[in-house]
C-alpha cells in the first residue's frame, strides 16, 4: 500500500509530558503499572491519529499487540515493551479485540480481507472496531465477512482531530449490533469523551461523513471571511475575536483558525503541517458525494467544497492541513 496505515505528519511524535525523558522511556513507565485485569488489545494503524489513540489505551492499562505497514511507526511502542507483529493476521491470532485506524476504504479492505489480513486468523467471538473513515458500503461488506467468521465488526469513526486524540477527548460514532456496544464503549471510552451509538453497521460512517462535509464547508467559509476582512483592512486577530463572539462563530474560527498567527498550537501557525490532510478531506468529501448520489440528496455546498479541495490537491496542497484553504484563497487571484 502506498499510503500509510495511519495519518502521518509532523504531529505524530509529540507528547504532553514534561521533562527530558525520551518518549519510549515515558511510555515504558506507563506500561509498568499494574495491568493484571486487562487483556491485550490489538491496534493496527499508528499514524497521526492511531499513535496517540494507542497511547491512551496504554495509559488505561491495556497491553497492546501492534501493527503498522511502516515498521518505524511501531518502534517507540516496541522499545516500551509492547508487542509488535508482522501482519494484521498475526495481530488477530493473538488478540480478540482489535481496533483499526486507517486512511482509506482500500486500506481497510486490505487489512481485513487481504492475503495477510485479520480474517485469515481471526478468532470466533472477536470484536473488531474500525475507526477509519471509509465508505459506509465497505463497512457493511466487511461486517458480513467478519460475521461469517463468527466475529463482530463495528464501525466507529472519530471526530476531534489530532489534539483530541492526544488528550483522549475524541468523539466516536459507532455503528453495529447494539448488544455489542457496551463492549466497544469500554475500549473507546479510554480514547474519547463521547462514544455515541448511531445504529446498524455503516451509520457511524454516515454520521462522520456528514460531520466532515459540514467541517469542510465551515472551514472554507471561515477562510473566505478572514481573507475578506484582512483585505478590507481588519487585523486578523481582531476579526477572529469579533467572529467568535458573534453569530458567525464555529469550530473552524474559534478552535482551528486557518489564518497563520491568530492561534497557537494549530496547523496554520506551523506552516499547515500536521493535523488533518487536504487529501483526506478531499477523500471524505468524495464519500459524501457518493452517499448523496445513492440517497438522491442535494449537497450543493458539499459538492463545491469537494471540488475546491480536489483543486487544492492538484496545486500542491495535498500534504498540508485542510485549513490551508486560507492560503489557497490568498494565492489564487482568479476567483
Q: Which of 24-33, 154-163, 184-193 has the lowest mean pLDDT?
A: 24-33
Say if residue 245 carries a ligand binding annotation: no
The pLDDT of residue 16 is above 80: no
Catalytic residue among 124, 144, 208, 319: 208
Do 183 and 152 share a structural domain? yes
Say if residue 287 carries a ligand binding annotation: no
* pLDDT tens string 121-147: 999 999 999 999 999 999 999 999 999
Question: Is residue 208 flagged as an active site residue?
Answer: yes
Q: Assign 333 a pLDDT band (cuts: 50, 70, 90).
A: low
* pLDDT tens string 45-76: 999 899 999 999 999 999 999 999 999 999 99
Out of 154, 174, 199, a domain closes at 199
Say if residue 220 carries a ligand binding annotation: no
Average pLDDT over residues 81-108: 97
Average pLDDT over residues 161-173: 94
Distance CA 272, CA 327 (A): 9
Do 6 and 74 share a structural domain? yes
Do 34 and 143 share a structural domain? yes
Distance CA 155, CA 134 (A): 9
The pLDDT of residue 304 is above 50: yes
The pLDDT of residue 29 is above 50: no
**Total of domains in the chain:** 2
pLDDT at 267: 95
Distance CA 139, CA 93 (A): 22
The pLDDT of residue 335 is above 80: no
Do 182 and 229 share a structural domain? no
Pair type for strands 97-100 and 158-159: unpaired
Q: What CATH number should be reported for the domain holding residue 236?
A: 1.10.1040.10
Look at the block and give the residue holding cell 488528550.
167
Task: Identify whether the C-beta of residue 83 lies closer than 8 Å to the C-beta of residue 58.
Answer: no
Do 138 and 61 share a structural domain? yes
Domain that holds residue 239: 207-329
The pLDDT of residue 3 is above 90: no
Say if residue 67 carries a ligand binding annotation: yes
The pLDDT of residue 319 is above 80: yes
Q: What is the CA radius of gyration of the chain?
A: 20
Do 19 and 137 share a structural domain? yes
Amino acid at each position: 500500500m502506498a499510503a500509510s496505515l495511519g495519518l502521518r505528519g509532523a504531529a505524530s511524535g509529540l507528547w504532553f509530558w514534561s521533562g527530558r525523558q525520551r518518549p519510549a522511556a515515558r511510555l515504558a513507565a506507563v506500561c509498568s503499572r499494574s495491568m493484571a485485569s486487562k487483556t491485550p488489545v490489538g491496534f493496527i494503524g499508528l499514524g497521526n491519529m492511531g499513535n496517540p489513540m494507542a497511547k491512551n489505551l496504554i495509559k488505561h492499562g491495556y497491553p497492546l499487540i501492534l501493527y503498522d505497514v511502516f515498521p518505524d511507526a511501531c518502534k517507540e511502542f516496541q522499545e516500551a515493551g509492547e508487542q509488535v507483529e508482522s501482519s494484521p493476521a498475526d495481530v488477530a491470532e493473538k488478540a480478540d479485540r482489535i481496533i483499526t485506524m486507517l486512511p482509506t476504504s482500500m486500506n481497510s479492505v486490505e487489512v481485513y480481507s487481504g492475503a495477510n489480513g485479520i480474517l485469515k486468523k481471526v478468532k470466533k467471538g472477536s470484536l473488531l472496531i474500525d475507526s477509519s473513515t471509509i465508505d459506509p458500503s465497505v463497512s457493511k461488506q466487511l461486517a458480513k465477512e467478519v460475521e461469517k467468521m463468527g466475529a463482530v465488526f463495528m464501525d466507529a469513526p472519530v471526530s476531534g482531530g489530532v489534539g483530541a486524540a492526544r488528550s483522549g477527548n475524541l468523539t466516536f460514532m459507532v455503528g453495529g449490533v447494539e448488544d455489542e456496544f457496551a463492549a466497544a464503549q469500554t475500549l473507546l471510552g479510554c480514547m474519547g469523551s463521547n462514544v455515541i451509538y448511531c445504529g446498524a453497521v455503516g451509520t457511524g460512517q454516515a454520521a462522520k461523513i456528514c460531520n466532515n462535509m459540514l467541517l469542510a464547508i465551515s472551514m472554507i467559509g471561515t477562510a473566505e471571511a478572514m481573507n475578506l476582512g484582512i483585505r478590507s483592512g481588519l487585523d486578523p486577530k481582531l476579526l477572529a475575536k469579533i467572529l467568535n463572539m458573534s453569530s458567525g462563530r464555529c469550530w473552524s474560527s474559534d478552535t482551528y483558525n486557518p489564518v497563520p498567527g491568530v492561534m497557537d498550537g494549530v496547523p496554520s501557525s506551523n506552516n499547515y503541517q500536521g493535523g488533518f490532510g487536504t487529501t483526506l478531506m478531499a477523500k471524505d468529501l468524495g464519500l459524501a458525494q457518493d452517499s448523496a448520489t445513492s440517497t438522491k440528496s442535494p449537497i450543493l455546498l458539499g459538492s463545491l467544497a469537494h471540488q475546491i479541495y480536489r483543486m487544492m490537491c492538484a496545486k500542491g496542497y495535498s500534504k498540508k492541513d485542510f485549513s490551508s484553504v486560507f492560503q489557497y484563497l490568498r494565492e489564487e487571484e482568479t476567483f
